[in-house]
Amino acid sequence: MTRHNFLLSLAVLLLAAGCTGAGKQQGGSYIFPDAPGDQTSGEPVLSEDPSAEEPSADEPSSGDPAPEGLCEFSQAIADQGWKLQEYKTIPDGIDIFRSPDKLLGKPEIAYIAVADLSKVRFDVWCIKDVGTQGTSEAFKTPSKVYEDGKWPVIINAGFFFADGGKYYSASLAISNSELLSTNINYASQDWVTVWYPTRGALLEDASGSIQTCWTYFISANSHYMYQNPADNSWDKDPLKTPSASFPEKASKVKAVTGIGGGPVLLKDGEIRNTYVQELFNGPSGILCEEEHPRTAIGVSPDDKYMVLFVCEGRQMTSGVQGLTHADLAQVMLDLGCGDALNLDGGGSTCMLIDGQETIKPSDGHQRAVASTVMLSAIDD
């Protein structure tokens, strides 16, 4: 196996593992380094110093009951106990909510940004790394992205890793119809047997239609999207490489804006949570069945509203552990989304509103990431 192929295989373990390639193979199990907060995606890194502090006193005021004048979509969210947060500088068309004290019966601190897409656009920043080849372009913290663009709302986005002085994006990113990065297109647990999973993405086409799908990148002319994933599993022999006709008839990726990650949580109003098919479970996975900080993006069935979601976890606030992917799918459905995608979580999870942090990052500080999703007024 070439060094490049080895690195891509290694990425399957690192893209959400909270390590930088400094771990080691030992007895068939990957050993993660001890220090959290390295320049990698962050799912399994646990906070070393859980805090019992209460939420920050700098949080904006909340309306209780919900103020009048909300759109029907936001009002339905307020009716579930989510509290509208007042930010004086947030553009018209964006509503910020803080969660009730519990979600699905679990103590939680979560924030959502609800965007009216007739007034607000979403965009993506990402290092340019098509085909997971690596680049010298460095990761950025969400605060750095804010400094560069003054976006009213920013969340972390796709998976990533660093190795040998290069920076790698392992998730699709498209901005202004330009392909910046692609979903990593294979996975392995032992560097010998290789799987070729289709991985999740949320794409907006030129008509404004937004949907979750599963993608596979072969080349610039062979970048495919599917309405269902390849039915891979670590417990089965690898399936053949995805193509224009497998796992089903494909369409070519022709998005104006898009972000990758996975697993797909919702598709056409139904919970999918395809972490098994996308090979995000098991020892090389992102702890889908455990409670951790999470980030997600979703859209209403009529494509009129977008929801950006983050939740705290890992005891950064006493008693708040986080959500599983099954929890996250249910929450996004309850919020009114028809399609939704999980993004990188753990120590990477972060939402900035007008440059201000909302939840407490589980590393104790913001992590530099390979991509972000941003909201702003259409006329900005």
Q: Give SS3 for 132.
A: coil
pLDDT tens track for 131-158: 999 999 999 999 999 999 999 999 999 9
Distance, CA of 7 to CA of 94 (rounded, Å): 40
Place of tokens 């007024």: 377
Q: Of 143, 147, 133, 213, which is closest to residue 180 (Cα–Cα)? A: 133
- Taking only the tens place, the pLDDT of each residue in 218-259 is 999 999 999 999 999 999 999 999 999 999 999 999 999 999
Q: Is 97 helix (H, G, I), strand (E, B) or coil?
A: strand
pLDDT one-digit tens code per residue, 31-53: 222 223 334 444 433 233 333 34
> Which has the closest alpha carbon to 325: 23, 1, 61, 43?
43
Stretch 54-62: mean pLDDT: 43
Which pLDDT score is estimated for 25?
28
Residue 143's SS3 state is: helix
Specify whether the CB–CB gap between 347 and 322 falls below 8 A: no
At CA 365, angle to CA 361 and CA 371, rounded to 5? 75
Q: Which domain holds residue 73?
A: 3-377
Tokens found for residue 365: 């500080």
* DSSP summary character for residue 241: P
Tens digit of pLDDT for each residue in 330-358?
Answer: 999 999 999 999 999 999 999 999 999 99
| Number of domains the chain contains | 1
What's the rounded Cα separation, in Å, for the pair 147 and 187?
35
- What does pTM read for this prediction? 0.86
